[in-house]
Amino acid sequence: MDKRISPRFGPLVLKAHLEIYGEPYEGYVINLSREGAFVALEEPPAVEAEVAVRTLLPFKLGEFEGEARVVWRSEAASVSQDDASCIAGVGLRFASVPDGSNDRLHRYLARFEELASRLDELPALEDADSSLSMAGK
Amino acid sequence: MSLEGKLEDVNLLEVMQIIAFAGRTGTLTIESARTSGTVLFESGAVRCAFSTSTLPILSGLCRRPKADYPGVLLRDGIRTTLHELAAVREGRYSFSAESALPVDYAGVELSKFIDSEGIEPQELILDLARDFDVARRRLLALLRSADPNSPVDEGEQRPEAVKDLLEAIVEPTASGAQGIARILARIGSRYVERSVLFLVDGTTIHGPDGSELDRNQCESLALAIHSRNPIARHIHDGSLGIPLPPGDAPEYALIPLVYYHDVLAILLCDNFRTGEPVGEISGLALFVEQAGMAMEKSSLERRLQVMEHPLSLANQGPLVQVATPMLRE
């Protein structure tokens, strides 16, 4: 799990609708934090491009929309240590997010973290015997 | 605590994202009235998956010598299984953490089903989402090509049973019908005076007259898309945002056509002539839901047909397709 102040959650796949200088693009948010996101795109725009992003959040939380700026870009198969490095796309930093969307984003990430933390409470990998019939208890 | 719940609240891909994020090893089971399945994870990567439809095929495959079914076929089996399980709309999921992959599951020996490499969750989930979107775009093109108002030819077959109509939806040309839109309109006419199909393409909504609208400018359409459930609204509350021809209807209903958890189209229904309320349309809503499921089933059946012929050239990738005829010479 990401230990930074604003942890990044992924792998995700959330369909994203972007508008970049008036042109519509479709991609997938594949990781997300409260400050930004990585969006897989076939034709990633240049760094510093201004992007309007919309994505429908899981758990029936509704739509997130906001303005963002491209802070880095990745061509497919480029090499780095980042887990999104082999996927073409852009790293976005949110610049302006309406309060409602910001609230939905926070609720989504909190819900995701809460569900993932349930897995942390499941038996540890070494505790094999007690894990065999865990589901449903 | 365990990770379990209803698939109405969290779909399969969303559950997989949580397991992958946590990087856990264990067994995810999916149970629904129509199908069931199991997905095995090792450190978040998918190593094995089988479902009601794919287990018999995989079992047959695994009776062959190991050399006859390379990992690519097991990975194709995983993807096809997830296609089936991802479509489940109502049912339960349950994840059980384990220290290592189980040797058998429900009497099935798993060793031959387990892909030695596994599939990275990011790659797998992204591929599935892209597959669904490609199929969705194909269906949208089909819907846009249909004219729901075109006259019926004298010799045209007119399927009336729900089963026949659903078959016509998944194979629109087989019935002679003019497309999915027309069938939905025909069924809609049994319940209300007007039923109009709006197509949802990203953030754009296409009306039957070729008009294009931003879905966020149409509050009630956006609500139906977000909730993926039918809604009814008063016509005078200003939330529709669509320039419909005038009528006396006091209210309208919106029924989303859902395909792999995404709204493909919305059927707008009202009684614009008599001004009567929309009334009981649960049968129509059920038909629209069944239509979406029929399209998903059709997509799955195409994948299963390919999977049933694991040693066919079509399933061996382009390199083998080219090389095999040369080797035979």
| Ordered structural domains, chain B, with CATH | 3-119 (no CATH), 134-297 (3.30.450.40)
From chain A, pick out residues whose CB is under 8 angstroms from the CB of B100.
Answer: 128
pLDDT confidence of residue B30: 96
pLDDT confidence of residue B158: 45
pLDDT confidence of residue A129: 38
Bigger pLDDT: B179 or B289?
A: B289
Whether A26 is in a domain gets the answer yes
Mean pLDDT of A49-58: 95
CB pairs under 8 A between A and B: 116
Mean pLDDT of B180-204: 84
Q: For residue A121, which of A107, A108, A134 has the smallest C-alpha distance? A: A134
Residue B245 makes CB contacts below 8 A (sequence gap 6+) with B272
- The yes-or-no verdict on residue A124 having pLDDT over 70 is no
Whether A136 is in a domain gets the answer no
- The yes-or-no verdict on residue B45 having pLDDT over 70 is yes
Lowest mean pLDDT among A25-39, B175-189, B254-268: B175-189
Q: Is B149 exposed, middle or buried (0-12, 13-18, 19+ CB in 10 A)?
A: exposed
Residue A61 and residue B192: Cα distance in Å, rounded? 31
DSSP assignment string, B4-56: EEETTTS-HHHHHHHHHHHT--EEEEEE-SS-EEEEEEETTEEEEEEETTHHH
**What is the domain-level CATH number for residue A102?**
2.40.10.220
- Ramachandran region of residue B75, left (φ > 0), alpha (ψ -120 to 50) or beta? alpha
Query: ipTM score of the complex?
Result: 0.81
Whether A1 is in a domain gets the answer no
Helix (H/G/I), strand (E/B), else coil: B239: coil
- Chain A interface test: which of B2, B19, B21 (most A C-beta within 10 Å): B21
From chain A, pick out residues whose CB is under 8 angstroms from the CB of B202.
Answer: 17, 24, 26
From chain B, pick out residues whose CB is under 8 angstroms from the CB of A118.
Answer: 1-3
Whether A120 is in a domain gets the answer no
Could you tell me which residues of chain B have a Cβ less than 8 Å from any Cβ in chain A? 1-4, 9-11, 13-14, 17-22, 24-27, 29, 94-100, 121-122, 125-126, 128-130, 133, 202-203, 216, 222, 225-227, 262
Mean pLDDT of B228-242: 80
From chain A, pick out residues whose CB is under 8 angstroms from the CB of B125.
Answer: 11-13
The amino acid present at B223, given as its one-letter code, is L
Whether A85 is in a domain gets the answer yes
Instruction: Identify the closest residue of chain A to B203 by CA–CA distance.
Output: A17
Report whether B256 contacts B266 (CB < 8 A). Answer: yes
Angle at alpha carbon of residue B93, lines to B87 and B99, rounded to 5°: 125
pLDDT confidence of residue A16: 96
Q: For residue B101, which of A75, A28, A11, A131 has the smallest C-alpha distance? A: A131
Report whether B285 contacts B300 (CB < 8 A). Answer: no
Question: Could A28 and B10 be called an inter-chain contact, meaning their C-beta atoms sit closer than 8 Å?
Answer: no
- The yes-or-no verdict on residue B279 having pLDDT over 50 is yes
Report whether B4 contacts B96 (CB < 8 A). Answer: no
pLDDT confidence of residue B324: 43
Instruction: Identify the closest residue of chain B to A53 by CA–CA distance.
Output: B203
Neighbours of B292 (CB within 10 A): 24
Whether A21 is in a domain gets the answer yes
Q: Is B109 exposed, middle or buried (0-12, 13-18, 19+ CB in 10 A)?
A: exposed
Considering its fold, how many domains does chain A have in total?
Answer: 1
From chain A, pick out residues whose CB is under 8 angstroms from the CB of B21.
Answer: 1, 9-11, 112, 116
Q: What is the mean pLDDT of chain B?
A: 79
Q: Residue B243 — very low, low, confident or very high, per pLDDT cuts 50/70/90?
A: low
Q: pLDDT tens for residues B58-98?
A: 877 777 666 666 677 788 889 999 999 999 999 999 999 88
Instruction: Identify the closest residue of chain B to A8 by CA–CA distance.
Output: B21
Neighbours of B35 (CB within 10 A): 18
Whether A4 is in a domain gets the answer no
B22 CA to centre of own chain: 27
Distance from CA of B293 to the nearest CA of A (A): 20
Domain that holds residue A65: 14-114
Whether A9 is in a domain gets the answer no
- The yes-or-no verdict on residue B327 having pLDDT over 50 is no
Report whether B34 contacts B7 (CB < 8 A). Answer: no
From chain A, pick out residues whose CB is under 8 angstroms from the CB of B99.
Answer: 123, 125-128, 131
Q: pLDDT tens for residues A67-118?
A: 999 999 988 754 444 455 578 999 999 999 999 999 999 999 999 999 998 8
- The yes-or-no verdict on residue B155 having pLDDT over 60 is no
